[in-house]
Structure 1
Amino acid sequence: MSEQFPHAVPHALPRAFSRRGLLRAAAALPLSALALTELPGLLGSAEAAAPATGYADRYTIVAFTNSSDYTVNVYQAEDATSFTLLQASAYTPPSNRIRDASVFKHTNGYYYLTYTTHTWEDTSTTIGFARSTDRVNWTFLYDYTVPITNLSRAWAPEWFVDSSGSVNVIVSCSTTDDEWIFTPYVLTATNTALTAWTAPTALSGIGSNHIDTFIVKIGSTYHAFTKNETTKYIEYATASSLTGTWTIQKTGDWAGWGSYREGPSLVQLDNGGWRLFFDGYGDGTYLFSDSYDTFATWTTPTVLPGISGTARHFTAVKETVSGGASLTTGITRSFQSANYPTRYWSEATGAVNLSVIASASTTAAKTAATFTVVAGLADSNGYSFRDSAGNYLRHYNYVGRFDANDGTTAFAKDATFVARTSPTSGAVRLESYNYPGYYLRHYNYVLRLDLDANTTLFRADSSFAAVSPWG
């Protein structure tokens, strides 16, 4: 059997307060005393698959940072894990702040942002809107006053596009009688320009004292992830219609994410699983967790490499774009390390080593370094690798090895890898199909599977060129 999903445990840091937690703790003090073409990630109906040859995944997030809520950075990744900076300070509103930005791509080709317009100290009755053609250059559209009587704060607006195509914003609102008790409301756009909205409707059944509500629809069921502001846990609810009645299915630490978590957002992965991103403000981290059984169970929370501790409260939009890495199937190849070019994948007992192969090497050594590239056993847009005996490369206890195909779904997934681009010309990186974000890389000259550290060294260690076969 293959290994259980790898876990990464964040280092414990002193507990911090979110904007809501700090306000609630200080509520008795006066403020003066307080220092589409596609809509990926929002709908669940699209068939999940690795990108076809000539195409690549692209995940985009737009986030404010720990150091500033006056502007947002744009990050992108091919794999929903190793986000890199696309543009710093990509958008600064003409006034006020920008927090909790949510992004989606509309059918008119524009990317749209909606966001919280004020910091936590201030009354905040508006949500902001901006748009872009390229995710880098943004144009302010307007601040929209949410029409709720005695509104105190409108926070954390999140896009939701229904299967009917209607565009909605889920916004958390409180009123002046208790400015720290939030209720989720839905606004539905009444024109394609997204400049006019229906009256706010509360999501019946989720109720007050919930914030940061993020919704996806799978089949005929709506699924919501929402933070309970009293317990600080992310809860899970379902409904048969957008406005409800919603039923809260899971409370407390039901998924093992821990407390002091907020800003949940979902995106669907190539293998059909769902990834939940959330802000671990209690320990200064940003985390993700994956589910493969329609949200019943989740992997152990893992720190998002590279931007954890910098980026705050975001959503992700997933697209398929032209480009990407690919391999030619049906031919034999040897796989050369990008940063140790005299070394190649070489089959050994129970492992795949990175061995020095040269013209003077034995015939057996050259054969051990030669493999046939075939379509992925679990996804034909991915890749599998077969040795001369007909065995397949798979991961087992995080180590690469060649085993006979036992015909199981688990084996097929273990033996399938998705090609991702490499910073080294002519090379590819190979991401595990069933453990997204984990890559084949060499370590002590052994091929193994590790979570992408989102560093220059890791990208080099996980880059391999498919070259003319030695055998």
Structure 2
Amino acid sequence: MTTTRPPTPSRRTLLRAMAALPATALVLGEVPGLLGTAVAAAPPSGSATRYTIVPFLNSDDGTVNVYTSDDATDFRLVQASAYTPPSNRIRDASIFKHTNGYYYITYTTHTWQDTSTTIGFARSSDRVNWTFLYDYTVPIANLSRAWAPEWFVDSDGSVNVIVSCSTADDEWIFTPYLLRATNSALTAWSSPVALSGIGANHIDTFIVRIGSTYHAFTKNETTKYIEYGTASSLTGPYTISRTGNWAGWGSYREGPALVQLDNGGWRLFFDGYGDGTYYCSDSYDTFASWSAPAALPAVSGTARHFTVIKETVSGGPTLAKGVTRSFQSANYPTRYWQTQSSLLNLPVVSGSSTTAEKQAATFSVVAGLADANGYSFRDASGNYLRHYDFRARFDAGDGTTTFAQDATFVARTGTSSGALRFESYNYPGHYLRHYGYQLRVERTDGTDLFRSDSSFVPVTAWG
């Protein structure tokens, strides 16, 4: 079987891209889509990546849940019904972290059938417990609906909301407008300014800035496709250069939201409301091409229209480098990683095992070949653990970028005390997992069984 790989940048390309990031991208929690990405890298030992979403529910637009993930794929419930506004509804919640340390959400205040001239605001000190702030009437003459507000913090530190608005002349023709906060308390806003070039009949506009270019993803309400455009100014004019099914996402898609992953790629989330599925898709070439859309496990079919905040937080997994370790299965504790004919398997290893068997279950832990914050593993012969056709095996390094990425893993917290999970560096959301006592790299399905099968405890080396 031949595996089609997503485009993967060289380290030089990544460094050039990182150098182009605006200064505020270096501050955790400031720029939606660039949150926590001072440099795109795996979290250092003792730290963890944390993604948070606050979606309303497919079954209930009167409240939102809070979910968290360490890999932007497997989101787990933190708090059900974490925030219910004192009146009206809550839809399309967008989240960011302000410089004052508080998290803020802004949201649509009415269900889609009703006139909706306000957007709501709430804040939290911990992402879980939320306090209502106020509903803000968007000052547009003859306004019918103000929907899907999205935070955007620019490189000058200004806090903005992009909101889709329609007037009573045609309540279903939306235009994106920019509101800029005029005080640090986020209680006063500038007059709305339409984003030039995107124009009418576009909704759910989400913007990220890379270097001096603003990248906009927006839903065309006629075609139901997510379109893409760029501009040199936040307010435009934008040039829409990608229309129709240009990225292979299909139609009846809405609510695009981007975040940069630990390996430097960009992940787009979108609500596949036409088929009831929530999707993600990745790009490694500044949005020119995208991976095939994949359903998000666990939250797909439950969550609706969300944005994502990424942070690096303390309390993450630790694993020393420059040492030898053996790796014990968390759910089959008599079984350990062992190289067998260059493949990584999970046989029983015990005190009565032969010296050769113990040596084959012993590995050197070193800095990741593609990212020094990640991990690579060498066997006794000096070959590196890597995935090939998604099978875990040991091969001699060949100096290529592909090999370095195949042989690099990001440590995530496992299911039991001391256990770690090892995520593929170049296939985010894919983990080393045992199946039939063989080690493979597979995409998480969000189940407890998968998490257990992909959890391993570093222990004193057998050999």
TM bracket (short chain): over 0.9
Structure 2 residue 235 is the aligned partner of structure 1 residue 243: yes
Deviations 1:412-434 (A, max 9, x none): 11100010001211110000111
Check the 8 A contact 2:409/2:425 in 1, yes or no.
Answer: yes
1:260 corresponds to which of 248, 252, 256: 252
Q: Distance in 1 between matches of 2:2 and 2:401?
A: 11
1:161 corresponds to which of 146, 153, 156: 153
Q: 1:341 to 1:40 in 2, by over 3 A?
A: farther
Q: TM-score, normalised by structure 2?
A: 0.94
Structure 2 residue 208 is the aligned partner of structure 1 residue 211: no
Structure 2 residue aligned with 1:108: 100
* 1:4 Cα offset (Å): 2.2
Deviations 1:244-288 (A, max 9, x none): 010001000000001110000000100111000000111100010
Q: Distance in 1 between matches of 2:189 and 2:133?
A: 14
Structure 2 residue aligned with 1:232: 224
Q: Which secondary structure state, in structure 1, belongs to the residue aligned with residue 337 of structure 2?
A: strand
Check the 8 A contact 1:40/1:318 in 2, yes or no.
Answer: no
Q: Distance in 2 between matches of 1:283 and 1:5?
A: 27
Check the 8 A contact 1:70/1:97 in 2, yes or no.
Answer: yes
2:30 corresponds to which of 31, 35, 39: 39
* 1:394 Cα offset (Å): 0.4
* 1:350 Cα offset (Å): 4.5
Q: Distance in 1 between matches of 2:212 and 2:243?
A: 23
Across the two proteins, how many residue pairs are aligned to each other? 442
Q: Which secondary structure state, in structure 1, belongs to the residue aligned with residue 179 of structure 2?
A: strand
Q: Distance in 1 between matches of 2:348 and 2:31?
A: 44
2:379 corresponds to which of 377, 387, 391: 387
Structure 2 residue aligned with 1:370: 362
Q: Distance in 2 between matches of 1:119 and 1:438?
A: 37
Letter aligned with residue 242 of structure 2: K
Q: Distance in 1 between matches of 2:412 and 2:339?
A: 23
Structure 1 residue aligned with 2:3: 3
Letter aligned with residue 47 of structure 2: Y
Structure 2 residue 352 is the aligned partner of structure 1 residue 360: yes
Check the 8 A contact 2:29/2:96 in 1, yes or no.
Answer: no
Deviations 1:7-45 (A, max 9, x none): xxxxxxxxxxxxxxxxxxxxxxxxxxxxx7532543387
Listed as ranges, the gaps of 5+ residues in structure 2 are: 7-26
Structure 1 residue aligned with 2:20: none
Q: Distance in 2 between matches of 1:205 and 1:69?
A: 32
Structure 2 residue 166 is the aligned partner of structure 1 residue 174: yes
Letter aligned with residue 89 of structure 2: R
Q: Distance in 2 between matches of 1:155 and 1:66?
A: 17
Q: Distance in 1 between matches of 2:38 and 2:152?
A: 15
Structure 1 residue aligned with 2:15: none
Q: Which secondary structure state, in structure 2, belongs to the residue aligned with residue 344 of structure 1?
A: coil
Q: Which of 325-334 and 87-96 deviates more?
A: 325-334
Q: Distance in 1 between matches of 2:28 and 2:40?
A: 16
Q: Distance in 1 between matches of 2:426 and 2:28?
A: 27
Q: 1:329 to 1:417 in 2, by over 3 A?
A: same
Structure 2 residue 275 is the aligned partner of structure 1 residue 275: no
Alignment map for 1:2-401 (pairs within 5 Å): 3-5=3-5, 38-39=29-30, 41-43=32-34, 46-401=38-393
Q: Which secondary structure state, in structure 2, belongs to the residue aligned with residue 367 of structure 1?
A: helix
Q: Which secondary structure state, in structure 1, belongs to the residue aligned with residue 333 of structure 2?
A: coil
Q: 1:222 to 1:343 in 2, by over 3 A?
A: same
Structure 1 residue aligned with 2:417: 425
Q: Distance in 2 between matches of 1:470 and 1:139?
A: 53
Q: Distance in 2 between matches of 1:95 and 1:458?
A: 40
Check the 8 A contact 2:28/2:38 in 1, yes or no.
Answer: no
* 1:367 Cα offset (Å): 1.3
* 1:399 Cα offset (Å): 0.6
Q: Distance in 2 between matches of 1:40 and 1:377?
A: 29
* 1:468 Cα offset (Å): 1.1
Percent of counterpart pairs with the same letter? Answer: 75
Listed as ranges, the gaps of 5+ residues in structure 1 are: 7-35
Structure 1 residue aligned with 2:431: 439
Q: Distance in 2 between matches of 1:85 and 1:392?
A: 36
Deviations 1:374-416 (A, max 9, x none): 0101111000000111100001001100000000111111100
Structure 2 residue aligned with 1:30: none
Check the 8 A contact 1:43/1:162 in 2, yes or no.
Answer: no
Letter aligned with residue 67 of structure 1: S
Q: Distance in 2 between matches of 1:180 and 1:82?
A: 34
Q: Distance in 2 between matches of 1:2 and 1:325?
A: 33
Q: Distance in 1 between matches of 2:362 and 2:38?
A: 37
Check the 8 A contact 2:434/2:453 in 1, yes or no.
Answer: yes
Letter aligned with residue 443 of structure 1: Y
Q: Distance in 2 between matches of 1:160 and 1:116?
A: 16
Letter aligned with residue 334 of structure 1: S
* 1:453 Cα offset (Å): 1.1
Deviations 1:213-233 (A, max 9, x none): 000000000000000000000
Check the 8 A contact 1:429/1:463 in 2, yes or no.
Answer: yes
Structure 2 residue aligned with 1:468: 460
Deviations 1:298-350 (A, max 9, x none): 00000001110000000010011101112111111111111111111111225
Q: Distance in 2 between matches of 1:438 and 1:383?
A: 15
Q: Distance in 1 between matches of 2:340 and 2:290?
A: 35
Check the 8 A contact 2:431/2:454 in 1, yes or no.
Answer: yes
